[in-house]
Structures are given as structure tokens and as C-alpha cells.
């Protein structure tokens, strides 16, 4: 059918073009237009017209419809659009309007298909990313390059570390390691030293918890009297709930460690301790939401070496346990949960300390939320602990000038503005009291407004509450001792109390019991103090340091066999190999921390900023 515009139309053309769509003129260039033919997509790339290749236009014949070359179209359209000329063009001169309109329809159709498959494509990309990360982590060349680079970076950082900081870190490692060795060596000897019918496990749990809670409680009271820390961060319901939860987990792990040590094979105890770093890593990703990748070659190498160290430390028990059938199998299952609960407890401790510890490195974030130099009167008077001889904001110059000029003399102009600033901040204090310097004022404002606390105050409060909860939970095990599924035989509550009194007397009477008890209590105290500080740096590193005690304790038992209550121990060369492997595992983890420290610092800064914002909201 002839078209009034000089072209043609097709009665079967049902295309509906958008109103706002504008096809370019025939002189505009286009490339690789995709068109559909119903069976697939083909690409037509017309050559641009040039002046030398312009074809002559024949004269139109009346009554004859111009012939056009067929163009593949989608299945829903059986014809092409109108032409601006009735002249039959060459294939290179196909009208742009027609081709661009067809391309528009095909593109819209393909876009709809892409949106339908968007979820599958995204999942495919995620799978490819994970596969690539795993292959990258298992590549030996990448691992060697990482180790070489990070050793160089670690050497540069160690040069900037002061001797005091280095000694502080070495002391923490020594506390955790020695505490681990003392606990492992003494626990079995302590249980075996009690005579039959004295509730050895329950008595040990109660008195160890009491000794530890008394120590932390006394230290906390002395610290409060001497330093007068601000403890407002401990007054909210959420904080108390967190402390109680940490205390319950600490009590559970202590009870399982004491009760299970006499009812489970040693190989399970060793393997359980070896699994703690893995569970610590899992909880670090789930709770702390650490953004660092767990598929780093250094981190995977660290975990593999730690597992190898555990297997080497238990090679004797792996061969011996196959010939034994343990009674009370449920204790074995209960002891297995010691690893995840230990990892979870230390992760929660790290989160609590990070949230409520005042950190001077974040002073720029604290300042906008503080009191702008104005403290409540009782706080201003309470914390005037600066010695008079210390210089404070020009106070020395002003007082010297007053002594020379006499009372009431004019002050020098150089110190006038500084003195006014001091007096402004000291408006709430008594007359003649020295002003509170800014290095004391900003921390106090942050602690008041944002519920932050001193580093030592937060740790002491957390350890004190945890140990007190441990004593309370230990009392729950008293009625359990009368039940057959727990103790192996049914007893009355009167007999349980009688056996407990016998166990208490045995602490000072039975040979070797008191020394083993003191050794275990001291080891538990050392491990708790060192682990609390190491948790603030890394929960995984604390697990590695504690695991060093496994091969060391085996070597101690070889040197002093009187403490050995088992039938045999692993050969000394296996213990040395285990010690080397766990040392390499810790070193690989430190290299990974060095590599990702910038990501960690940025993440911790953003996390602290979010905590501050929530505290003020």
C-alpha cells in the first residue's frame, strides 16, 4: 500500500513505538545494530555513506511500489517501517530511521530478559568470586610473595616499637603461656590427689572460683579508692546483661574443664583446645563483622599449622584411645562444646572492652559529643588530682608575676587570655583550686557523655563480675552431685555436703593437694589476666598463645614425671615439632594482621564512630 509520505506501509505492521522516541536522521552514523529474526539475533553493520559512493537515484515509476531489500525483524513484527524516499536504495543506504526503530524494539526486549536473569547472573558472579579467592589462597607463589612482603613490613614496624611496649607484649604472652601450662599439668594431678568420696571436681571448682573472685574484687576496690575512676558505663541494663552473659560462659567453660578432665580422653582435650582458633575466627566474622577476607593465604596457612601442631601434640593419645572404651560418653559430647563456648566468650569480652574503653586515639570523634569544657561541679572537684608544681595553661607565669607585683597586681598581657580560659573552665570549682588541665578534662567529658571508662577499670570490672558469677554458678553444681547421671551414683543432699566438707579438709591435709590447687589457681589467674589484654588485640592470637601450652606441658611432664597421672605421654620430638608448628602458626597470623592492619584500623574507627553516635542518640 502506498504511503502518503512517499514511502509505503504494510497492513500487518503492528509495532507501537514510544512517543518520546526520536529516530536519528539518515545522515547520522550507527554501529552494530542488533535485530531479531525470530530465531535469534543477527548483527548488521552498514557502511557509512561517503560522497564518492553516492548511488544515482532512478526516476519514480507511477503506480509501481518501490522495491526494498528485506530486513530481518522480530517475530512480533512482520514488516518494516516507512521510508522517506520511494527510491529503491542499495543495501549500504538502508534508511537509518527504519533500522534504529527495529534496534530500539530489540534492545527493550533484551533488557527485559536481562532483568529476569539478573539474580542468576549475580549469584554466578559471587560463585566465581569465591572460587577465585580460594584458588588465590591456595596458590604457593602468592603465599610465598605474601610472606616475603609482610616480613619486610613487620621488620619496619618493629623498629618503631619502644622497648616498653615490646616488654609489655612479651609479658602478656608469658602470662598466657605459663597459665596454660600450669593448668594442664596440675588439673589431672589435683583431681587424682583427692581420696575417693570427697567430691574432688566440685571442691576444686568452688575454691578456684572463690580465690579468683576474691583477687579481682580486692584489686578493684583498691583501684577505686586510689584512682577514683568514673564507672558510669556499668550502670545500664545492657552492660550488666553483657557482663552476666560473659560470666556464665566463663563459669561453664571452667566447670567443663574441671569435670571433663577426669572423664574424657586426653586426646579430646588436646583437640578441643586446638579447635578454639577456628571458632574464634567464625565468631569474629559473625559478631564483630570483621571485613577482612578469611581466604588469605597467610590466614589459611596459620590455621593449617595450628591443626598440625595439635595432631603432633596428641599423637600418642591418638594411638592409645582406639583401644579404650570410655564410660559416661555424654561427658565427651559436653567437652566438645568447650571450644565454641571458649571462642564465643573471648569474642564477647573483646566486644565489651572495645565498646566501653576510652581510647585517646579517637579524641577527634569524642570532642563534638562532649561538654565543651564545662564539667558538673562534683566532677570538677572530685578529679582535681594534678600536682601544684605541674604547669597548667600559663598558670605558672601568672603566679610568678603576682608574687613580683604583689597581691592585686596586674597580670601580663601574654598570659591574660590563657588565664581567662582557665578561669572559665574553673567557674564551678572552689576559689583558689587549681584548674583541671585539658588532658584530664576531655577524657572525663567523654566518660560522662559517652559512657566510656579507663582501660584498667573496664578490665577489672569485667573480670570481677565474671568471677563472681562463676562462684554463683558453681553453687548450681551442688545439687547435681546428688544425681546419678552426673556423679555416677545417687546420694542424699546430706551426703553431698559431708563429702564437700571432706574435700575442703583434704585441701590442707592430703599430700600434694594444696600445691596442685595453688598451681592450678595461679595458672587460671595468669591465663585470665593475659587473655583479657590479648583479647583486646586479637582473639585468634590469644588462642594460639594459649595453645603453646600443650607441647610445653608435655615437655614439663617428661622432665617431672611425678605430675604425670596418665599411662604415657607423647615422645619429646613430637612435642618439639608441635611447638615449632604452633610458633609458625602464630607468626603467620601476625603477618596476616600486619598485611590487613589498615583495613582493620578503618573498620574499628567506623565501628567506634557508630558506637558514639548510638550512645548519644
User: What string of H, E and C letters represents the secondary structure of 539-567?
Assistant: HHHHHHHHHCHHHHHHHHHHHCHHHCCCC
Are 413 and 374 contacting, i.e. CB atoms less than 8 angstroms apart? no
User: How far is 552 from 497, CA to CA, in rounded Å?
Assistant: 38
* Cell numbers describing residue 278: 577456628
Average model confidence (pLDDT) for the chain?
A: 73
Top-confidence range, 68-77, 409-418, 603-612:
603-612
For residue 124 the three cell numbers come to 554466578
Give the list of residues 6+ apart from residue 576 with CB closer than 8 angstroms, or none. 551, 555
Residue 39 has pLDDT above 60, yes or no: no
Q: How far is CA 360 from CA 364, 454, 505, 615, in A?
A: 9, 10, 50, 17
Q: Name the least confident of 72-76, 120-124, 240-244, 525-529.
A: 72-76
Percent of the chain surpassing pLDDT 70: 60
- The pair phi, psi for residue 41, each rounded to 5°, is -120, 130
Q: How far is the C-alpha of 332 from the C-alpha of 344, rounded, in Å? A: 20
Cβ-defined contacts of 469-473 (< 8 Å, 24+)? 469/243, 469/244, 469/247, 469/248, 469/250, 469/251, 470/209, 470/212, 470/213, 470/247, 470/250, 470/251, 470/254, 471/206, 471/209, 471/210, 471/213, 472/251, 473/247, 473/248, 473/251, 473/252, 473/255
Which one is predicted more confidently, 286 or 328?
Answer: 286
Q: Which of 35-44, 181-190, 517-526, 547-556 has the highest mean pLDDT?
A: 517-526
Q: What distance, in Å, lies between the first and last C-alpha atoms of the chain?
A: 74
Which 3 state secondary structure label does DSSP give 245?
Answer: helix
What is the pLDDT, as a whole number, of residue 140?
75
- The DSSP letter of residue 228 is -
pLDDT digits (tens, 9 = 90+) for 290-317: 899 888 888 989 999 998 888 887 776 6
| Three-class secondary structure of residue 35 per DSSP | strand
> Which pTM value belongs to this model?
0.68
Work out the burial of residue 552: count CB atoms within 10 Å of its CB; fewer than 13 is exposed, 13-18 middle, 19 or more buried. Answer: buried
Return d(Cα 527, Cα 547) in angstroms, integer: 12
- The residue whose grid cell reads 584458588 is 135
* Range 165-180 average pLDDT: 93
Q: What per-residue confidence (pLDDT) applies to 234?
A: 81
What is the Cα–Cα distance from 231 to 221, expressed in whole angstroms? Answer: 12
Confidence of residue 580 (pLDDT cuts 50, 70, 90): very high
Q: How far apart are CA 286 and CA 280, in angstroms?
A: 10
| Tens digits of residue pLDDT in 333-367 | 777 788 899 999 999 999 999 999 888 888 788 77
Eight-class DSSP state of 2: B
Amino acid at each position: 500500500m502506498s504511503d502518503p509520505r512517499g514511502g509505503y506501509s504494510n497492513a500487518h505492521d503492528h509495532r507501537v513505538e514510544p512517543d518520546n522516541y526520536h529516530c536519528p536522521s539518515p545522515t547520522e552514523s550507527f554501529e552494530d545494530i542488533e535485530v531479531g529474526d525470530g530465531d535469534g539475533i543477527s548483527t548488521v553493520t552498514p557502511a557509512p555513506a561517503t560522497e564518492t559512493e553516492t548511488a544515482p537515484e532512478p526516476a519514480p515509476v507511477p503506480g509501481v511500489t518501490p522495491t526494498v531489500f528485506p530486513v530481518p525483524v522480530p517475530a512480533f513484527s512482520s514488516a518494516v517501517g516507512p521510508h522517506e524516499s520511494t527510491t529503491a536504495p542499495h543495501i549500504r543506504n538502508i534508511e537509518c530511521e527504519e533500522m534504529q526503530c527495529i534496534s530500539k524494539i530489540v534492545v527493550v526486549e533484551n533488557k527485559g530478559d536481562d532483568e529476569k536473569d539478573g539474580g542468576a547472573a549475580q549469584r554466578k558472579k559471587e560463585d566465581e568470586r569465591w572460587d577465585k579467592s580460594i584458588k588465590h589462597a591456595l596458590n604457593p607463589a602468592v603465599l610465598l610473595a605474601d610472606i616475603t612482603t609482610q616480613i619486610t613490613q613487620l621488620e619496619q614496624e618493629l623498629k618503631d616499637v619502644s622497648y616498653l611496649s615490646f616488654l609489655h607484649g612479651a609479658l602478656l604472652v608469658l602470662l598466657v603461656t605459663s597459665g596454660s601450662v600450669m593448668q594442664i599439668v596440675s588439673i589431672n594431678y589435683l583431681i587424682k590427689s583427692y581420696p575417693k568420696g570427697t567430691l574432688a571436681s566440685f571442691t576444686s571448682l568452688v575454691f578456684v572460683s572463690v580465690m579468683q573472685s576474691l583477687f579481682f574484687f580486692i584489686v578493684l576496690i583498691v583501684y577505686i579508692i586510689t584512682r577514683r575512676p568514673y564507672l558510669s558505663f556499668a550502670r545500664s541494663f545492657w552492660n550488666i546483661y553483657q557482663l552476666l552473659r560473659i560470666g556464665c560462659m566463663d563459669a561453664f567453660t571452667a566447670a567443663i574443664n574441671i569435670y571433663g578432665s577426669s572423664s574424657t580422653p586426653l586426646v579430646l582435650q588436646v583437640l578441643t583446645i586446638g579447635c578454639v582458633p577456628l571458632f574464634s575466627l567464625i565468631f569474629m566474622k559473625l559478631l564483630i563483622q570483621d571485613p577482612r577476607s578469611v581466604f588469605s593465604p597467610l590466614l589459611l596457612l596459620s590455621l593449617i599449622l595450628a591443626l598440625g601442631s595439635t595432631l603432633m601434640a596428641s599423637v600418642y593419645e591418638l594411638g592409645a584411645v582406639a583401644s579404650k572404651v570410655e564410660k559416661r560418653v555424654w561427658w565427651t559430647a559436653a567437652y566438645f562444646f568447650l571450644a565454641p563456648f571458649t571462642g564465643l566468650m573471648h569474642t564477647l569480652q573483646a566486644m565489651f572492652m572495645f565498646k566501653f574503653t576510652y581510647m585517646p586515639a579517637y579524641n577527634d570523634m569524642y570532642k563534638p559529643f562532649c561538654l565543651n569544657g564545662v564539667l558538673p561541679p562534683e566532677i570538677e572537684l572530685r578529679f582535681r588530682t594534678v600536682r601544684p608544681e605541674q604547669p597548667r595553661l600559663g598558670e605558672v607565669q601568672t603566679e610568678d608575676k603576682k608574687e613580683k607585683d604583689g597581691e592585686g597586681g596586674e597580670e601580663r598581657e601574654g598570659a591574660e587570655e590563657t588565664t581567662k580560659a582557665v578561669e572559665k573552665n574553673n567557674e564551678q570549682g572552689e576559689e583558689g583550686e587549681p584548674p583541671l588541665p585539658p588532658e584530664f578534662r576531655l577524657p572525663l567529658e567523654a566518660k560522662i557523655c559517652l559512657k566510656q571508662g579507663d582501660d584498667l577499670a573496664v578490665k577489672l570490672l569485667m573480670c570481677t563480675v565474671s568471677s563472681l558469677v562463676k562462684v554463683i554458678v558453681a553453687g548450681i553444681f551442688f545439687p547435681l552431685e546428688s544425681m546419678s547421671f552426673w556423679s555416677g551414683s545417687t546420694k542424699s543432699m546430706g551426703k553431698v555436703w559431708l563429702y564437700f566438707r571432706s574435700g575442703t579438709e583434704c585441701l590442707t591435709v592430703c599430700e600434694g593437694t594444696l600445691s596442685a590447687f595453688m598451681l592450678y589457681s595461679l595458672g587460671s589467674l595468669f591465663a585470665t589476666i593475659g587473655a583479657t589484654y590479648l583479647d583486646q588485640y586479637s582473639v585468634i592470637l590469644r588462642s594460639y598463645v594459649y595453645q603453646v601450652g600443650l607441647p610445653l606441658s608435655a615437655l614439663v611432664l617428661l622432665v617431672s614425671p611425678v605430675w604425670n597421672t596418665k599411662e604415657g605421654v607423647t615422645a619429646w620430638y613430637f612435642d618439639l615439632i608441635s611447638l615449632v608448628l604452633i610458633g609458625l602458626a602464630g607468626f603467620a597470623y601476625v603477618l596476616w594482621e600486619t598485611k590487613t592492619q589498615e583495613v582493620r584500623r578503618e573498620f574499628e574507627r567506623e565501628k567506634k564512630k557508630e558506637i558514639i553516635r548510638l550512645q548519644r542518640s
